[in-house]
Amino acid sequence: MAATAIAGQQMEMMGRQQRRTQSLAERNRELFDVQRKARRGPTPEVFFTKHIDNTRLVKADDPERRREMRQFAVVMSMLFVLVMVYVWQHFLAIEIGYRVEAQKQQVEQLREQNRQLRLNEAQLTDPQRIDTIAKQLGLEAPQPGQVVRPDGSVMPAGAVVAQASTAPALVAQ
pLDDT of residue 57: 85
Distance CA 84, CA 90 (A): 10
Instruction: Answer for the pair 148, 172: CB distance below 8 angstroms, yes or no.
Output: yes
pLDDT at 72 over 80: yes
pLDDT at 87 over 60: yes
Q: Please tell me the distance from the alpha carbon of residue 105 to that of residue 1, in angstroms, as a whole number.
A: 95
CA distances for 161 relative to 9, 27, 70, 158, angstroms: 128, 116, 92, 10
Query: How far is the C-alpha of 95 from the C-alpha of 139, rounded, in Å?
Result: 60
* Paired strand residues for 147: 171
Any idea where the domains of the chain sit in the sequence?
2-38
Rounded to whole angstroms, how far apart are CA atoms 27 and 14? 10
pLDDT for res 173: 43
**φ and ψ of 44, to 5 deg:** -75, 155
| C-alpha R_g of the chain | 52
23-57 pLDDT per residue, tens: 778 888 888 888 877 776 666 667 788 888 888 88
Q: 171 by DSSP, 3-state: which?
A: strand
Q: What is the pLDDT of residues 107-138, one digit of tens each?
A: 999 999 999 999 999 999 998 999 899 999 99
Question: Whole-model pTM above 0.75?
Answer: no
